[in-house]
Structure 1
Amino acid sequence: MPTTEKVRHLTAAELLDTVVDRGSFVSWDCPAEEPVLSDAYARDLAKARERSGTDESVITGAGLIRGRRVAVIVSEFSFLAGSIGHAAAERIVAAMHRATAEGLPLLAGTASGGTRMQEGTLAFLSMVKITAAVRAHRKAGLPYLVYLRHPTTGGVMASWGSLGHINVAEPGALLGFLGPRVYEALHGEAFPDNVQVAENLFTKGLIDGVVEPSDLPDLVGRALDIVMPCRAAAAGTLPTAPATLFVRPAPVDAWTSIEISRQPRRPDLRQLLKYGASDALPLNGTGQGEKDPGLLLALARFGTQSCIVLGHARPLRKDAAGMGPGSLREARRGMKLAEELRLPLLTVVDTAGAALSQEAEEGGLAGEIARSLYDLIGLESPSVSVLLGQGAGGGALALLPADRTIAAQHSWLSPLPPEGASAIVHRTTAFAPDMAQAQGVNVASLYANGLVDHIVDERHDASLEPREFCVRMARAIEYELAAVAGVPVPELVVARAAKYGSLGPR
């Protein structure tokens, strides 16, 4: 969207009226305590108050959003371009600390040119204490949601504007580190068009979505329903045991399962979320400028159980690249979200293999696989993994370690696709079926060796009954998520390491 398009943007008060349930907002603001002022700066502040109708560049308080109490910090851009000086920073930090103390999720609606030039370096340094307050809020396991409004630049974008568990933006919003006017003044030429625009940041994997203000209440409500479920009601109670607890491996050889797993119409993670999840809210990218289509990251709920989901997104085209290192960096974002929000992690394995390319090698694919394994085996959160279909190589291994593993009857796990293993041993792919059987890649072998804990039947082939299969898988996931959620995390971490340290015939 061109940045030159003239659009009227909401004031802080108008955003609050749009997002917060009518009549529920209560201000937390105290009179602003300004630093020592020059006469010129005092006049600037007086004019800003008169123009904006607010006493500072931020409004803070709490209100209901879709019936749930939420702390809110909203920038008022008409007050000195929403800039942050001492008084505004103190107000932001006080609101963050109060939200943390009261156990409230926090929504920040930024619109700012950055730190206040009239207050110099000390205003610039205030971004550090604001960031410390964000960190304390997140470390308390409380959601921090950010709505980036037009424009958000400078120190605000480079601190509390980029630290949300979920970061979404207003359509067409100018978002960036260096404001375009500053760039032009310093370099004598205009900044390239449409780089610092919300839609471009979404494409690059820097934000999770582009959302109209009118749609923000629903988004916040859905996100909080997932990440802050009512734990008291389900505490210590397992869902009804699903029939899949009694399913055993399919009585077929490994190659038959591999061929079934490769059916083009086999249900994938997208369909599992569509047919099996009570709700699913997709996230986008690493937040660091990478968006690899090989992985899907989402907040989701299966029945009564909320979780962070990350898994392989099966390529929609045969010529699509395999999972690259960016996918695993996005996966590690999901792992951190699970730990910080104190939610179970669900990983879904369904890959024909990671990318084999110069870009993947130079992007550090091997190192990302290693770091993913490192993070999963020590994850400070309950975890469940699902073998949904193909499970070839390091790309599959990178998402596997978990407290419990569910497998579709015809899923499999192998160091390489069987054709590759055959080529290494026999210098031809002709022995792929024999290699698959000998290597023990199928669910029968994985179950016998203690890796798979729960099997979901396919009633011959999941591609022939995608919706029904996904419903059965979802019930198995709900059950296993509930089972691990009831165990203290330190016990899970010890048992997880012991499980992978003792795999073998049982």
Structure 2
Amino acid sequence: MSVQTRPRRLNARGLLDLVVDPGTYVSWDAPVTYTEHSKAYETDLAAAREKTGEDESVLTGEGLVHGRRVALVVCEFGFLGGSIGVAAADRLTDAVERATREGLPLLAGPASGGTRMQEGTLAFLSMVKITAAVRRHKEAGLPYLVYLRHPTTGGVMASWGSLGHITVAEPGALLGFLGPRVYESLYGEPFPEGVQTAENLQARGLVDAVLPPEELAPTIHRALSMLLPGPVDPLPEPASLSASPAEVPAWESITISRNRQRPGVRQLLHFAAADVLPLNGTGQGEKDPGLLLALARFGETSCVVLGQDRQRGSKQPALGPASLREARRGMRLAEELNLPLLTVIDTGGAALSKEAEEGGLAGEIARCLNDLVGLNCPTVSVLLGQGAGGGALALLPADRTVAAQHAWLSSLPPEGASAIVYRDTEHGAQMAQEQGVTVSALAAHGIVDHIVPEEPDAAAEAPAFCRRMGQAVEYELASLRTVPSAARLEQRTARFRRLGSAG
């Protein structure tokens, strides 16, 4: 008969020993000083120092993680529940500011009940200085990674614990704003079980992954390899760059694009990307199956990927407002870290429902467009298959657009356009041809820059097609990195400003 045991939780030193390469950790901690406090609090502090062997609830320093220099700030929960007082906040802030000065990525490992009650409002307000330092670190284009440990609640969760570019959590960790003990004391009943767990937060799109401590170092290495890419050598032009658009009837391409066996963004990444690190949700309590968000590397070029997710052999999820809010999270990540952004368009249309309307679908499409046209980072969009309606438009504007031969783009599915013009759906093929939805028509108008052939269509040769598309994407991403930001923005605006102009 097995006995269920609680998972072993590492203290701060244990986590540092596990994550940092042996013998490379260097502490940044200076001796702490306190203002005058009560005798009872001084007794508590002395007992915490005796119990943990640490002088405060936070350890800061630097070390190598798989050979890469990284700054670290880690809570010691055994020291008064990892609570943050003024001295701990100053230590944290000093470390974040030093990481920013020295151009280092930063890993935070909170495990805390929140701000220190014995220090009252000053401790509570100290979250502001920590947050301001984290903001400046991110504004400097430096990665901020968060590993939420058990437990993390209160003011820590509501400030520097929730600001990561990437946030992962310890299995089974209790995570949330409200401490369960406080809730039970206030309301006389326990807080509902299963709400404040790492696994539930992942399911709700609040954290990117749940990882045991043993997997943290290799995950950090993979993430930083993509978030802090090195220089990329110029690439030879792929054969697809000179491919001419084949004159294919619109309805033929639309029929081919709707094949359930056609490869989607997941197959593209599987066959063409050198590495992929999935991200998860909006970070604000929403997760929608209509969109894939990830970090990926094509050859030596890293990027943020937003892909409308064709799920092979199943009913396709409609693109809802939560998907677009998740997309905007990816856009912010690319902007903050100056990574290229790759958007993959493959949708039969946005969600048409009461929930989508009440969730602000139209506004989210508008905000995606607004964000995309003004991003300072390089942007590439891929028309991979279907490109219907506002869901396609929301991810289209880019510096360069690559298209599969049988992709298409239209304000509505052809049947919908037929219903408006002819009050039936029988004229769909005619409407598609007349509206110029094909890749050849898009290329003629300067909307598509690079066409990847299908031989004869992507569903029949998925691995080879995906690798060709990957080569085209890698070339476009790498080429754009050499163009100054101001020139890219000017060219991006001009290409859409010219649409429909005579001559």
TM-score, scaled relative to structure 1: 0.97
Contact 1:292 1:326 (8 Å CA) reproduced: yes
Listed as ranges, the matches of 1:160-171 within 5 Å are 160-171=160-171
TM-fit CA distance, 1:118:
0.3
Q: Which residue number corresponds to residue 348 of structure 1? A: 344
TM-fit CA distance, 1:276:
0.5
Deviations 1:189-240 (A, max 9, x none): 1000010000000000000000010000111000000010112xx2xx4211
Separation (CA, whole Å) in 2 of partners of 1:318 and 1:266: 12
Separation (CA, whole Å) in 2 of partners of 1:329 and 1:5: 39
Instruction: Output the aligned Cα RMSD.
Output: 1.1
TM-fit CA distance, 1:35:
2.1
TM-fit CA distance, 1:37:
1.8
Q: Which residue number corresponds to residue 270 of structure 2? A: 274
Q: Which residue number corresponds to residue 402 of structure 2? A: 406
Q: Which residue number corresponds to residue 303 of structure 1? A: 299
2:195 paired with 1:195: yes
Q: Which residue number corresponds to residue 411 of structure 2? A: 415
Deviations 1:337-369 (A, max 9, x none): 001001111101000001110000000000100
Determine helix, strand or coil for the equivalent of 1:300.
Answer: strand
Where does structure 1 lack aligned partners over 5 or more consecutive residues? none
Number of aligned residues? 499
Determine helix, strand or coil for the equivalent of 2:69.
Answer: strand
Listed as ranges, the matches of 1:24-423 within 5 Å are 24-231=24-231, 234=232, 237-316=233-312, 318-423=314-419
Determine helix, strand or coil for the equivalent of 2:426.
Answer: helix
Determine helix, strand or coil for the equivalent of 1:151.
Answer: coil
Separation (CA, whole Å) in 2 of partners of 1:470 and 1:342: 26
Contact 2:262 2:312 (8 Å CA) reproduced: no
Separation (CA, whole Å) in 1 of partners of 2:438 and 2:5: 57
TM-fit CA distance, 1:8:
2.2
Deviations 1:375-395 (A, max 9, x none): 101112110000000000000
Q: Which residue number corresponds to residue 491 of structure 1? A: 487
Identify which of 423, 429, 432 aligns with 2:425.
429
Distance 1:198 1:496, change over 3 A: same
Separation (CA, whole Å) in 2 of partners of 1:205 and 1:144: 18
Contact 1:35 1:87 (8 Å CA) reproduced: no
Deviations 1:388-424 (A, max 9, x none): 0000000000000000000000000000000111111
Contact 1:20 1:217 (8 Å CA) reproduced: yes
Deviations 1:323-347 (A, max 9, x none): 1000000000000000100111110
Identify which of 443, 450, 466 aligns with 1:447.
443
Separation (CA, whole Å) in 2 of partners of 1:470 and 1:209: 27
2:190 partner letter: A
TM-fit CA distance, 1:317:
6.1
Contact 1:35 1:86 (8 Å CA) reproduced: no
Determine helix, strand or coil for the equivalent of 1:322.
Answer: coil
TM-fit CA distance, 1:429:
1.1
Determine helix, strand or coil for the equivalent of 2:292.
Answer: strand
Q: Which residue number corresponds to residue 13 of structure 1? A: 13
Separation (CA, whole Å) in 2 of partners of 1:211 and 1:185: 32
Contact 2:260 2:312 (8 Å CA) reproduced: no
Contact 2:82 2:114 (8 Å CA) reproduced: yes
Separation (CA, whole Å) in 2 of partners of 1:108 and 1:274: 31
1:127 partner letter: M
Contact 2:246 2:405 (8 Å CA) reproduced: yes
Contact 2:264 2:311 (8 Å CA) reproduced: no
Determine helix, strand or coil for the equivalent of 1:348.
Answer: strand
TM-fit CA distance, 1:7:
2.4
Determine helix, strand or coil for the equivalent of 1:292.
Answer: coil
Separation (CA, whole Å) in 1 of partners of 2:45 and 2:312: 56
Separation (CA, whole Å) in 1 of partners of 2:375 and 2:96: 27
1:391 partner letter: G
1:345 partner letter: L
Distance 1:310 1:210, change over 3 A: same
Provide the identity percentage. Answer: 66
Identify which of 475, 478, 481 aligns with 2:474.
478
Distance 1:317 1:162, change over 3 A: farther
Contact 2:75 2:111 (8 Å CA) reproduced: yes
TM-fit CA distance, 1:495:
1.2
Separation (CA, whole Å) in 1 of partners of 2:235 and 2:35: 58
Contact 2:250 2:429 (8 Å CA) reproduced: yes
Contact 2:261 2:312 (8 Å CA) reproduced: no
Separation (CA, whole Å) in 2 of partners of 1:343 and 1:462: 29
Q: Which moved more, 1:138-147 or 1:249-258?
A: 249-258
Contact 1:250 1:410 (8 Å CA) reproduced: no
Separation (CA, whole Å) in 2 of partners of 1:324 and 1:35: 53
Deviations 1:238-291 (A, max 9, x none): 211111111111231111111111111111000111110011101000000000
TM-score, scaled relative to structure 2: 0.98
Determine helix, strand or coil for the equivalent of 1:288.
Answer: coil
Separation (CA, whole Å) in 1 of partners of 2:92 and 2:313: 47
